[in-house]
Structures are given as C-alpha cells and as structure tokens.
Chain A
Amino acid sequence: MTLLDVRGLTIHYDLPQGTVRAVEDATFTVDRGEVVAIIGESGSGKTTLAMAIAGLLRPPGRVVRGHIYFDGLDLSRLDDDKWREIRGRDITVVFQDPNTYLNPLMSVGRQVAEVFEAHGMGSIRSREVAERAIEILRRVRIQDPDKRYWSYPHELSGGMKQRVLIAMAIALKPKLLIADEPTSALDATIQAQILDLLEELRREMGMSLLLITHDLGVAARIAHRIIVMYAGQMVEVGRADEIMSDPLHPYTRALVRSVKLDRKRLLGVPSGAPPSLISPPPGCRFHPRCPYATEQCTTWRHTLYVRDNRRVACVLYA
C-alpha cells in the first residue's frame, strides 16, 4: 500500500547569482511501514526534498513542478490550515542538528508537550499534556523523564537532544517520519543507539520511515529500499540488499565499494566536490567524475531505465 507518492518533483532556489536546481524530477514511492533511505553526498538535494515533503520549504526555495501525494491527498494543493493538521501528526521530521533545532530558551519537556497542544489536546500548561510528554520522553529512553522535562537543551548531550527531537516526531504516532541525517552530528556509539531506537519505534508504531543520510552503511542497516541521489537527481533506486550486492550506477558502485572497505572517501572516482547546482555539467551530471564516461554522456538526457527491480540513470543500461 503506497503512503507517499512523489512524482516529477522539481525544486529550485532562486538566488541573485542564479537558480539552484536543488532537486530535479524526483519520482519515488514509500509504502506503509516501509523504510526508504535517500543517500547522496552533501549538497545533493536531500534536505531540500525532505523539507518539501514535510511542507517546510522556505523561500527562496520553491516547488517548480511535480506532485506529492500523501495518503491520497495532493499535498501541493493543501492550504495552510490543512498543512498544520498534517504536520506534527501525520508527517513529522527529525532534523539533522539537534543543537540548533531545539529552542534554547524553552524546557525540552514543554517543546515536546507543544506537539500535543498543536493538535488540540490541551494547553502545555495542563497536567495531562505534561504527563503525556513525560511518557513520550520515557518512550525514547530518556532517564528520569519527569526531571528531564524541565531541562533546557544546553543541559543535555547531543544524543539526548536528538532523542528529544525524536520524541516530538513520534508523539502522535505519525504515518511518515522523515529523518534527515539524524545521526550525522553525533559520535559513532550514539549513532548506533539512535538508529536502533528509530527502527524499533518504527516497528512498534507501524510508521513509514524516510531516512536521509550521506552514509550508505547507515542506509544498508535498516532500509528496505535505497534511493541514490547525485547532484539533485535520482541515479539509482532499488532494494537495499540488491544495491549493496550488485550496484549498477558507477556512482553507486563507488559508494558501495568504499563502504565495504570502510573508507570515508569515495573509491574509484576522482575526488572532488559534487558540481554546482547553479550550472550543472551538461548531460549526465556525474560524467566529469565517472571512470566509464564517454562522448555520449555529455549529451545524454537524464532518464531512469528500468532493470528488473531496479531503476538506474546511466547510459550503460539504456
């Protein structure tokens, strides 16, 4: 059963120095209860895509084309009031940097309690709401939740703050949780704990998880399917196990190889930053770094070719 259906989504940032084509023609689905990972280097448009799905895209960002269907609703046609009902209840987000995504001046318990208030379950001053918030803090394994309720963000560690953000995101048992690099700001041991917690909560609540990460290792651990993005475009989509065992796109191959050898840097492709999205390379955007690039690649038009269970955007598979 499809929960999220993204079709041809194209998002630009209009800046004085030019248009940033942050996301081009993103098309994919997420089923109920499914974990889909979006992976790609930083700057490949992952956060932009996530924000658009959660209705949080801010100017100069703008959806240029495409549709997002969620649970039968066309999200691009929603008015503000309807969006407010969905945000925090049906679609929630865990952000990348727990240090800046919490309000430093408000106790963390109240910030969780606000979710209940926002969806008509009483004021954050009410006892019931406070007790619910404490329950949720317990649920994300925060020790002494009734004491922590009154803590301020600066009194908590990064991992704890991320748990607080997760608490907000699961408070109302959402249908879709979008986790945007939920562990990249944390150290390795905490990363694993947070990932396990997310996966456990997802299973208990039966929600779908859209996990955004630049770390293929993280994606392989809990995702059912993986979407690989490069420079604002999807380059490969497939089942996680298949992608890990048999990557098709040259970029995916490099990613998989470096994960398997536990290297931080991409193997097999020249290092270098992903291209500017204001004036991306013509043809395949990966061709300047691709070991298999030919003349053809400079004029090729981005297309996802279907191959068994897989979709891949490379002329090798045309």
Chain B
Amino acid sequence: MANHIINLFVSRAAKYIFCVVFLAAMVFRFLAWRGLQMAITIIGVILVLFLLVRVLPGDPARLLAGPEASQEDVEELRRLLGLDRPLHEQFAAYFLSVLSGDLGTSYRTGEPVIAEIMRRLPYTLALAVAAQSLAIAVAVPLGIVAALRPRSMAGYAASIFGVLGSSLPVFWTALLLIWAFSVELKVLPSGGAGTPAHMVLPTAVLALFLMGNLVRITRASLLEVLGANHVVTAHSKGLPWNKVLTRHVIRNALVPIVTLVGVQFGTLLGGAVITETVFGWPGIGRLVVESIFVRDYAVLQGTILIIALFFMLINFLVDIVQMFIDPRTRNV
C-alpha cells in the first residue's frame, strides 16, 4: 500500500514535470510562430503606409509639410526626410525610425505624432473598455436567458436588442440620447470630455450598438450547444442541470462569443469615429478624421499604424483565450 502511494506520488511528480516542460515548449513554439507572423504583418503595414504617402497625388514633401509650409520649408523637409534618395533607402530609413518610436511630426502642431497619439489614446481606451464591458454585462446574460427561455421577458428583450441594437445607425441613437438626456432632461452633457458624466452617453450609444450582434451570437451559440450530443451524455450521468449548463453548455458556447468580442474591441480601439465626432470626444477616431480634413499625413500614418498594432494585439489575446477554452486550438 505504502509502495503504491509512493508510486502514485512519483508518477504524479513526474507527470507535473512532464506537463510543465511540455506546456513551456508549446507556449514557446506558439509565441515564436505568432511573433514571426506579427513581425511580417507589421512590416507589411509599415510598407503600405510608406507607399501610401508616395502614391498619393502630389509631392510627398509637400504633403508631409502641410499646405501652409513655404517652398523653402518643403525643400528643407525633402532633404531632411531623404526624399531625394532612392526608394529602398527611404524605406529603410522610415522603417528604422518607426521602430525607434519616431512616427514623424505633425505639421499642424509641430509636435511629435507619438505625443499626440498618446494624448488621445486614454480617451479611446476608456470609452472602448466601458462600452465593451457594458455590452458584455448586458448582452451575454440576456442571450443566455433568451436561449433557455425564449418565451420569457428576457427572451423578448433579447429579440428586440438583437434586431435594433446593430441596425440603428450610431449617429441616430446618439442624437436621440442627446435629445432625451441633454436637451429635454438636462441631466447629462451633450459632448466634450472631462468628467465621468461626459462618458455616459457615448458609452451607452456604443454599447447599444455592440449588444445587437452580441445578444444574437450568444443566443445562437447557446442554442447550438444545447442541441449537441455531449449534453445528452451529461444528462445521462445524472448531473444536475446547473452543472450541465455551466460545464457543458456555456463554456462550449463561449468560443464564437469570444471571437466576436475580440473583433468588436479591436474595432473600438481603432476609434469609434462617428460616436467620437458626435460627442466631441477627443479620441483616436477623431484624430483620424481631423488629420484627414487638414491633410496631416504624418499623423494619419502614425495613427493607422497604432490602430493596426492594436488589432494584432487583440487577435493575439483572443487566440490565447481560445486556447484556454478549447484544447483543440492548442496545437499550432
């Protein structure tokens, strides 16, 4: 007996060591592979941004310097940027400066682009996190209840959200909410940033938009898993319903939900252009719009690069979460 226990212990210790080594090897392989993929993607994005300024009609030095710069300034910039040198040399120089964190200078403010982006980023992040959290907190439970009890209040609420949420244009719900809460009730500011109260309406508008798809995916995914054969097995064991639900239904239904949340959040981080514009919210989305209007190409280039980076990061995180949920995705 003692022998048996020792054996068991040794085999357990061996098992844990084995597992840890194996896991480390797998994680390393995964990271190496993903790292390579992301590096290639980043190079691609930088290349496109580099070419963008050069294929746009007009003189890149003029574009980057801005419409109000004098001819001497433009010539100066041309030499500074090395625009008189061959294309591949230019790309190498641009690539290296991007890698070192130098995204150029805004002609409008004369400030480094990265500083402008860093000033806007917290606003976009705050709005994205708030809206996405609110959407998840409402839509996922609603979708679950709607799948389990289609004829309940929640079931009907889910149908309404599912249809309206993502089909009402954002500017319309934004104007509606401004009219109701700012104009009529006068309880919330209609635009700007600074206090928590300023965040309420833009968050609500975005969350409502996200909820539509999220409710529908949650409900559909749950219904699909509820009909799956492994759920019958779970019942056949005599497992109580709550355990069948959490272990065999909801967990399995999460896969498509997590994917959608990843896409939604990635999009939000790219700046909610319309919402930020309607509410005068000083985030990344408005920065994109503003830099387009005034042809501040350095800012536009830098912002797009950051947005692309965020998208990749979110994709990466989604894949990690999926690996936790679904063992089948663990071998790369």
Contacts and interface: CB of A to CB of B under 8 A. Distances in A.
Contacts of A54: 236
Contact of A86 (B19, B229, B238, B243): B238
A73 to B, nearest CB: 15
A87 B233 contact: no
A104 B238 contact: no
Nearest to A83: B238
Interface residues on B, range: 20 to 34
Contacts of B232: 56, 58, 95, 101
A88 B244 CA distance: 14
Interface string B244-270: 000110011000000000000000000
B237 A106 contact: no
A100 B251 CA distance: 16
A40 B233 CA distance: 23
B235 interface: yes
Nearest to A89: B238
Given A103-B248, A154-B327, A88 B230 contact: no
Nearest to B18: A147
A104 B237 contact: no
B326 interface: yes
A150 B15 CA distance: 10
B151 interface: no
Contact of A102 (B230, B243, B326): B230
Contacts of B235: 56, 87
A83 B238 CA distance: 8
Contact of B239 (A102, A114, A165): A114
B223 to A, nearest CB: 13
Contacts of B233: 95, 101-103, 111, 165, 168
B177 interface: no
Nearest to A92: B236
B240 interface: yes
A101 B238 contact: no
Contacts of A106: 247-248
Contact of B15 (A58, A85, A146, A154): A146
A280 B85 CA distance: 85
A88 B239 contact: yes
B328 interface: yes
Interface residues of A, number: 34
A69 interface: no
A119 interface: yes
A162 to B, nearest CB: 12
A195 interface: no
B325 interface: yes
Contacts of B11: 146
B246 to A, nearest CB: 12
Contacts of B228: 100
A103 B252 contact: yes
A58 B236 CA distance: 12
Contacts of A86: 238
A152 B238 contact: no
B234 interface: yes
Contact of A100 (B230, B252, B326, B328): B230
B236 A104 contact: no
A100 B229 contact: yes
Interface in A3-18: none
A97 interface: yes
Contacts of A95: 229, 232-233, 236
Contacts of A58: 232
B320 to A, nearest CB: 16
A172 B270 CA distance: 56
A208 to B, nearest CB: 17
Contacts of B252: 103-105
Given A87-B235, A95-B233, A105 B326 contact: yes
Given A152-B327, A152-B328, A154-B328, A168 B237 contact: yes
19 contacts: A56-B232, A56-B235, A87-B235, A87-B236, A88-B238, A92-B236, A100-B228, A103-B248, A106-B247, A106-B248, A114-B239, A114-B243, A114-B247, A117-B243, A118-B238, A118-B239, A119-B238, A146-B11, A150-B19
Interface of A: 54, 56, 58, 83-89, 92-93, 95, 97, 100-106, 111, 114-115, 117-119, 146-147, 150, 152, 154, 165, 168
